[in-house]
Amino acid sequence: MDMMRILATCQYGWPEPHPSLYPMEEMAKRGHYVHAVTGTPNYPMGVVFKGYEHNNIKEEDHNGIHITHVPVIARKHDPVHRLLNYHSYPLTAKRKVLSLGDDYDVVFANQSSPIMMVEPAIAYGKRRKKKVVMYCMDLWPASLCVGGIKQDSVLYRFYWGISKKIYEGVDVILVTSRMFKNYLTDEFKIPPEKIEYLPQYALSEFDNIPEATVRDTVDFVFAGNVGAAQNLGVLLRAAKIIQDEKIDDCGKQIIFHIIGDGQALELLQKYVKENMIHNVLFHGRKPAKEMTKYYAMADAMLVTMLSDPLISLTLPAKVQSYMAAGKPIIASADGEIKNVISDADCGFCAKADDERDLVDKIRDFLSDDKRTGFGEKARKYYMECFSVDIVMDRLEQVLKDNCR
């Protein structure tokens, strides 16, 4: 088969700053036809984007993909709207895909949160007897624990049942972290042969980061979503310790830059103001094409995650972007992130949610006379394991193997 016709379902996508459509853009570049069904854009701040306010079905094309935006209830900033948002996309997207014809070869469901966004793909697959390949970027219902939902609660058990039905209802599960496989087999008894590791890759913008300019500060950069799971509070507490103890790098002041937006941003900004932390700068969300200048100025990139046994299974896409840019990584995390940094030997990883250990790891980095070599090792590991050609060759083959 030379050309596939792929139906893709994902609640988020262009023009939202979300990576769910990137793999399909790559498939389009390879000559395949892709029709993506996404929601009305309102991620990450929960406000409907300009030009989409009427919340009607809207058809448009972007980077070779035909996109259908179906109506959804915007996320806003409260639990009720978040819940309505989670359940509105599956309903409207299912109605749309079931109206489509039989001329698609395979269904690709890109799944972050919520897992219910896969339901339209399964519905189409069953109706039209097509196989469904699911790309699992976020574990459910484990992700609910980030929002404070207890595992013994009625709500957790309800979504456990939905998650099990969805994991069982697809034909192939591609996982973005090696540790996801054990969770799915142990928690839901999913057959191991149904699961395959397919990591995320970085955008091409990060392949050619300009050389860092000489600065009179040492700059650490966090880039990405600013939410509860990212646990940036540990970074702010570490920054306060560094400020109070007057830790520097041979006289150079240490500055932390946070590039991004999200639900936790206002609380973090309030914490910085109330605690008079002067070595943390918030830059807000920036377009992807502007990010190279922030990466270029970084002596090292930062990744922080909650201390949670399920969250620790995750490998966020920012890790691949950091590596593609050839930058050292300093982390406060457990599990898969720690494993990748150790395998690549590209930086230091403190225990999750331990600001004192994070300060110690920053000290270790600053005192390492080979610290510039960490970036070269990160880039090498990326090219061998996470490059777009390697990842997309495998995805293309999986999709072809599942065409009918």
Per-residue H/E/C for 333-354: CCCHHHHHHHHHCCEEEECCCC
Same domain assignment for residues 64 and 82:
yes
Separation between Cα atoms, residue 372 and residue 141, nearest integer Å: 40
Neighbours of 83 (CB within 10 A): 14
Kind plus residue range of the DSSP H or E element containing 135: strand 132-136
Q: Using CA of residue 352, residue 262, residue 388, residue 399, what is the dihedral sign? A: positive
Same domain assignment for residues 245 and 184:
no
Across 20-34, b (16+ Cβ under 10 Å) vs e yields bbbbbbbbbeeebbb
Place of tokens 């973090």: 268
CB contact set of 68 (below 8 Å; sequence gap of 6+): 35, 36, 37, 38, 57, 58, 59, 96
**Is the CB of residue 90 less than 8 Å from the CB of residue 123?**
no
Same domain assignment for residues 48 and 192:
yes
Same domain assignment for residues 242 and 373:
yes
132-136 vs 172-175, strand pairing mode? parallel
Global pTM? 0.81
Separation between Cα atoms, residue 327 and residue 371, nearest integer Å: 10
β-bridge partners, 39: 70
Give the CATH number for residue 297. 3.40.50.2000
Same domain assignment for residues 169 and 271:
no
* ω into 79 cis (within 30 of 0): no
**Is the CB of residue 365 less than 8 Å from the CB of residue 180?**
no
Separation between Cα atoms, residue 374 and residue 301, nearest integer Å: 11
Q: What is the pLDDT along the chain (404 residues), one digit of tens a residue?
A: 589 999 999 999 999 988 889 999 999 999 999 999 999 999 878 889 998 988 888 999 999 999 999 999 998 878 888 889 999 999 999 999 999 999 999 999 999 889 999 999 999 999 999 999 999 998 999 888 877 788 899 999 999 999 999 999 999 999 999 999 999 999 999 999 999 999 988 776 676 676 767 788 999 999 998 988 899 999 999 999 999 999 999 899 999 999 999 889 999 999 999 999 999 999 998 887 788 889 989 999 999 999 988 888 888 889 998 999 999 999 999 999 999 999 999 999 999 999 999 999 999 999 998 888 999 999 999 999 998 899 999 999 999 999 97
Separation between Cα atoms, residue 202 and residue 381, nearest integer Å: 13
Q: Between vectors from CA 315 to CA 287 and to CA 403, what angle results, nearest 5°?
A: 85
Q: What are phi and psi of 315, to 5 degrees?
A: -120, 95
Neighbours of 354 (CB within 10 A): 17
Same domain assignment for residues 193 and 325:
no
Give which of 260, 262, 258 is closest to 227, Cα–Cα: 262
For helices 372-385 and 336-344, give the axis angle rounded to 10 degrees: 110
Same domain assignment for residues 290 and 373:
yes
Same domain assignment for residues 123 and 194:
yes
Separation between Cα atoms, residue 326 and residue 379, nearest integer Å: 4
**Is the CB of residue 302 less than 8 Å from the CB of residue 226?**
no
Same domain assignment for residues 67 and 99:
yes
- Cα separations (Å) of 225 from 99, 237, 320? 35, 19, 15
Separation between Cα atoms, residue 126 and residue 107, nearest integer Å: 11
Domain extent at residue 277: 204-385
List strands edge to edge, sheet with 280-284: 280-284, 253-259, 217-223, 300-304, 329-332, 347-350
Same domain assignment for residues 84 and 192:
yes
Q: What is the largest CA-CA distance in the chain?
A: 67
Same domain assignment for residues 167 and 35:
yes
The total number of structural domains in the chain stands at 2
Same domain assignment for residues 146 and 190:
yes
Separation between Cα atoms, residue 22 and residue 184, nearest integer Å: 25
Separation between Cα atoms, residue 319 and residue 80, nearest integer Å: 32
E-strand stretches of 246-324:
253-259, 280-284, 300-304
